[in-house]
Amino acid sequence: MDSADSKETVLMISVFAIVVAASGADLVADLAHGAGIDHIVKESAVVVISALAIARLLWGLRRQRQEIEALQQELVAANDASNQPRKYVLEARKKLGNVVSQQFSEWGLTDSEKEIGWLLLKGLSLKEIALLRDTQEKTVRQQASAVYRKAGVAGRHAFSAWFIEDIL
């Protein structure tokens, strides 16, 4: 979830909290003044529905934060020095990295498209890329489509295969 979405979610939680507080106070006042049962039921429903909306929004925020933390832990593990490959593998990676960078430039990819291209080649999903880049998944999808179009391929698998097809 990007920061704009987080801010919007927090704003929605705040609005629902105000609704719960105001409706709850009004409900207590109505009970004290002997309001009719139909009015009490309606106001109770507003309080309950608003409280459920708050719970759902908080659950969504928590789940998204957990996903971000898991991705960050995967990134740390991937960069762990004990997982480093042998010298010949590092040399091959460097050469392939140079080929990929050169090809990205030849295709005329923008800096954002290059970043998307690298993350796609590394196997990240569009959702994971959006979380890492703190942007909308829709934006990542559009940028990935631009990468595929500029590369002249149909999609993710053809894009990856373009680089490794002749190696294997």
How confident is the model over 5-31, as pLDDT tens digits?
Answer: 778 888 999 999 999 999 999 989 988
Who contacts 116 (Cβ-Cβ below 8 Å, separation ≥6)?
129, 140, 143, 144, 147
CA-wise closest residue to 130 among 141, 145, 121: 141
Q: How many CA atoms lie within 13 A of 77 on its CB side?
A: 6
Alpha-carbon distance 3 to 8, whole Å?
8
pTM comes to 0.53
Q: Where are the domains of the chain?
A: 3-78, 85-164
Sign of CA dihedral 59, 61, 64, 69: negative
pLDDT classification of 138: cutoffs 50, 70, 90: very high
pLDDT for 164 equals: 83
CATH topology of domain 85-164: Rossmann fold (3.40.50)
pLDDT for 154 equals: 93
* Residue range 53-101, pLDDT digits in tens: 999 999 988 998 898 899 888 888 777 766 667 788 888 888 888 989 9
For residue 51, what are the CA distances in angstroms to 10, 28, 38? 14, 16, 20
Number of H helices and E strands in the chain, helices first, is 7, 0
